[in-house]
Amino acid sequence: AQTVTQSQPEMSVQEAETVTLSCTYDTSESDYYLFWYKQPPSRQMILVIRQEAYKQQNATENRFSVNFQKAAKSFSLKISDSQLGDAAMYFCAYRGGLTGTASKLTFGTGTRLQVTL
């Protein structure tokens, strides 16, 4: 079974600074997808960024980027120029890569990010 581990229950960053959230996973599959989701106090799940395991290039979305290390099974999220609106719970998630099939997500335990002035 796949597992996702987020070892940082809480992180804090000052506005405009950069923060990195850690995530490791365990799988025996070679093809899969990795995600970072943001859950603000409203509890809505918002997709932040997605990475396909077969792609060597790290995904980026504006101020959000990942460091994907497939051999190390590591998938960290970097948030640059942090904003107050970035404060939320962040979940790392894994999805098996059966092509054409909507497969289930396995979530990590989450990291609560605080953004301070």
Partner 1 sequence: GAVVSQHPSWVICKSGTSVKIECRSLDFQATTMFWYRQFPKQSLMLMATSNEGSKATYEQGVEKDKFLINHASLTLSTLTVTSAHPEDSSFYICSAGRGDQPQHFGDGTRLSIL
Is 30 an interacting residue with respect to partner 1 (CB under 8 A)? no
The beta strand positions in the chain, using DSSP E, are 3-5, 10-14, 19-21, 24-26, 32-39, 46-52, 60-61, 64-69, 74-79, 88-96, 105-107, 111-116
Query: Using CA of residue 4, residue 9, residue 84, residue 117, what is the dihedral sign?
Result: negative
Is 85 an interacting residue with respect to partner 1 (CB under 8 A)? no
Residue 71 is encoded by which pair of tokens?
Answer: 């051999």
State in angstroms the smallest separation of the CB of 106 from partner 1. 8
Is 99 an interacting residue with respect to partner 1 (CB under 8 A)? yes
Q: Residue 44 or 83: which CB sits closer to partner 1? A: 44
Q: Residue 101 or 117: which CB sits closer to partner 1? A: 101
Q: Where along the sequence are the contacts to partner 1 (CB under 8 A)?
A: 33, 35, 42-45, 47, 50, 91, 99-110
